[in-house]
Structure 1
Amino acid sequence: MDYLIRPVRADEWLRMKELRLVALADPVAPVAFLETTAQALVRPDSFWQERTAGVSHGTAARQFVAETPDGELVGTVVVLVEDIGAKDIFGVEITAPQAHLVGVFVRAEHRGIGLTERLFASAIDWAWSLDAPPVERVRLYVHEDNPRAQGFYRKIGFVPTGLTAPLDNKAGGVDREMELVRA
């Protein structure tokens, strides 16, 4: 099957809500996402509309999706551009222009065929294309109890930085930062 990897469109908010709910219902969701299904379900439509619009254009964030030939959205990754001096979601101050990958998900029946690699390639290429200022690294956090994801990230070139962030969500434990530095 030939999949299209592309940026999300603002008018696809309902489809993105559905994909997010599928992701949050995945068995690995407690260690992969900071949000729960219960939290997502009570969000108003305006939240999903604004969220999708905010990652559909501009240079602050971009969401990429994997789409089947019949139009089903089966995977996603979000790139957040983090400005120097800002604080990230864990309260750590940003000291260099960087991008942060979040919300990685591929539907179970479409895993193992290279979609995540293609989503990451599009997301990272987009981050490297930014020039005001140029992104120096792309990072992500992965839960200490998610060895499958850790292995995938290593396979595509991400390395642990040693930075950790304790979690106070249902899963607990810590997320470990990994990075890919611009060559």
Structure 2
Amino acid sequence: MAPPRLVIRTTREADWREVRALRLEMLRDTPLAFLETLEHAETVEEAVWRQRARRGETAGQTSVVAIEDGRWVGHMGGYIPDAATGPMLVGVYVAPDRRGDAAGVTRALLDEVERWAAGHGSTLRLEVHEDNPRARRFYEKLGFVLTGRTSTYPLDPGGLELEMIKRLDDAPRR
């Protein structure tokens, strides 16, 4: 049996159906990790999904997906909230059966987002919910460290988002 073929690429408007399906999968798997509820995402109109899919084609933001033998198995996004903050990693998801170092999906996605982010700053930031220790360990393994800054998680059940940062000195370059 041939090994699965992994493609990492940015999204485009024509991908809106796949972007929607993956987002719903993300929200079902780890609802606490995203600032949107499944109930809300299920009501979003096509025009909004098309706009979300275009993030991969829009300056100042990126949307990167992992596709393995035609199946969408992961996503990472990035945007620049403001000049002082610099690039922010968002929308991180890898399908449960494709997680871990052996699969290579996570590192491939992060490499691509880091390439993009390195063009916009020297660090990459993210926020992780305080009640998501698995994600926090994952980010630490990839070189992110806690900054000590927090923000309020806006959805129920509430809690805090913990800011983490990674220096991009050694980020892969295009």
Count of aligned pairs: 164
Q: Is the 8 A contact 2:77 2:90 kept in 1?
A: yes
Point out where structure 2 has 5 or more consecutive residues left out of the alignment: 170-174
Given the two structures, how large is their TM-score scaled by the length of structure 1?
A: 0.84
The root-mean-square deviation of aligned C-alpha atoms, in Å, is 1.3
Q: Which residue of 2 aligns with 1:20?
A: 23
- Secondary structure of 2:47's counterpart equals helix
**Equivalent residue letter for 1:140:** L
Q: CA deviation at 1:116?
A: 1.3
Judge conservation of contact 2:35–2:154 (CA < 8 Å) in 1: no
> Shift in Å at residue 58 of structure 1?
3.4
Gaps of 5+ in 1: 85-94
Matching of residue 7 in structure 1 with residue 6 in structure 2: no
Which structure 2 residues correspond to residues 1-183 of structure 1 after superposition, within 5 A? 1-26=4-29, 28-29=30-31, 31-53=32-54, 55-69=55-69, 71-84=70-83, 95-96=84-85, 98-112=86-100, 113-128=103-118, 130=119, 134-183=120-169
Normalising by structure 2, what TM-score?
0.89
* 3-state SS, counterpart of residue 79 of structure 1: strand
Post-superposition, which runs of at least 4 consecutive aligned residues in structure 1 deviate over 4 A? none
Asked if structure 1 preserves the Cα contact closer than 8 Å seen for 2:129 and 2:153, the reply is no
Instruction: Report the identity percentage.
Output: 35
Partner amino acid, structure 2, of 1:78: G
- 1:89 corresponding residue in structure 2: none
Distance 2:45 2:154 in 1: 24
* In structure 1, distance between residues paired with 2:19 and 2:58: 18
